[in-house]
Amino acid sequence: MGIRISDKCRGISPSATLRLNALVAEKRAQGQDVISMAAGEPDMDTPEAIKAAAIRALEEGKTKYTATAGIPALRQAIADALNKHHGLAYAPSEVMVSSGAKQALIGCLTAVLNPGDEVLLPSPCWLSYPELIRMADGVPVLVETTVGTGYVPDTKSLQAKLTGKTRAVLINSPNNPTGAVYNRAELEEIAAFAKTHDLAIISDEIYDAFVYEGVCHVSVASLSEDAKNRTVIVNGFSKSFAMTGWRLGYAAGPKGLIAAMDAYQSHAAGNPNSLAQYAGLAALEDSHMAQGIVAAFAARRKRLLAGLEGIPGTRFFPPQGAFYVLLDVSGLIGKSYQGQDIADEMVFAELLLEHQGVSVVPGGPFFAPGTCRLSYAVSEARIDEAIRRLKAFVSQIAG
């Protein structure tokens, strides 16, 4: 008899990609060359100036507890950045630093939801959202979007899922996994819907720097005073500054809500890592660092999209942001590879890994059946090789 696990924790799904990750590790241990297009993080190192700031902070003994919501200089720098990029005026007291965007999301959901409250969640979506909502005692309500509408929800689709318990809408633009970037008109529609039904808007903008070919990232909070007052922006340093391991994120929103999140965080986690906060401060001081990272991704995106063009049985929605392509492989499902049935996208991903050493994430956990997510957080040379292998794999699919 061990310790009984709570219903809440037993209900949390472990990552659906664990089996594939184990297969990747096994193949690499056998010395096989696996190209991973599964990663949700930039492959490059954190820029030197950011690392130097952390080293300096360490040497200066900045190793004690800080204010739970973050050092004042960083809260101010985040407020300044939001002002510079979106014309949004936040006071430092309306900004909270967190241990990654994830920590800000769980704090925000906990501060907004009472048990049983529903959150409208456009899908396909990042697989952690439904779990985070449930962990905060809320109920995720998927609002399906399709490639036909550019994976953006409209009023009709939101309205169809609205009930008396709907409390918030959670949006993510640029989007993981679709790469969709909501434009101003689309965001205005969402903001108007939220105003009509008095909903909070939780806006995860972690991929804000990753937009391509002249597309702009618009923050929903910047649309009007009403939109600002009902929105919590969640963002972080993980993607834009190649800082996934540092665990540094933030939220910006109405003062009362940020204070509630601060109270929650003070017990649940305490302050984010002090050295990471000084590193984050250095990151915000030089926007060229993020630009360098994004420029590399822009070139990779171009290369990958050109390579994916015209592979039989597949198609894709051209992503405008983030660093993923959702490849629709439904045209290959039901066929066979060397006598093995491709029953679904999971089998497709397993066979591709097994026979060609390319790892992709099946779309099921993102509520995108019939697709696989390809991350282009790999070099252009590896992208070329991955395309070659993918074509070789598909050319042997029959039926």
Ligand X SMILES: Cc1ncc(COP(=O)(O)O)c(C=O)c1O
What does the binding site for ligand X look like in residue numbers (CB under 6 A)?
A: 40, 100-102, 126, 172, 176, 204, 206, 236, 238, 244, 249
Pairing, β 166-172 against β 139-144: unpaired
Can you tell me the distance from the alpha carbon of 46 to that of 49, in angstroms, rounded to the nearest whole number?
A: 9
The nearest distance, CB 17 to ligand X, in angstroms, is: 12
Can you tell me the distance from the alpha carbon of 346 to that of 323, in angstroms, rounded to the nearest whole number?
A: 21
The nearest distance, CB 164 to ligand X, in angstroms, is: 28
Can you tell me the distance from the alpha carbon of 129 to that of 145, in angstroms, rounded to the nearest whole number?
A: 16
The nearest distance, CB 278 to ligand X, in angstroms, is: 17
The nearest distance, CB 172 to ligand X, in angstroms, is: 5
> Between 245 and 312, whose beta carbon lies closer to ligand X?
245
> Between 126 and 193, whose beta carbon lies closer to ligand X?
126
The nearest distance, CB 235 to ligand X, in angstroms, is: 8
> Between 71 and 162, whose beta carbon lies closer to ligand X?
71
The nearest distance, CB 126 to ligand X, in angstroms, is: 4
> Between 200 and 342, whose beta carbon lies closer to ligand X?
200
Which residues make Cβ contacts (< 8 Å) with residue 217, sequence separation at least 6? 173, 174, 181, 205, 208, 209, 211, 321
> Between 277 and 356, whose beta carbon lies closer to ligand X?
277
Minimal CB distance residue for ligand X: 100
Pairing, β 336-337 against β 340-341: antiparallel
> Between 101 and 327, whose beta carbon lies closer to ligand X?
101
The nearest distance, CB 39 to ligand X, in angstroms, is: 9
> Between 191 and 206, whose beta carbon lies closer to ligand X?
206
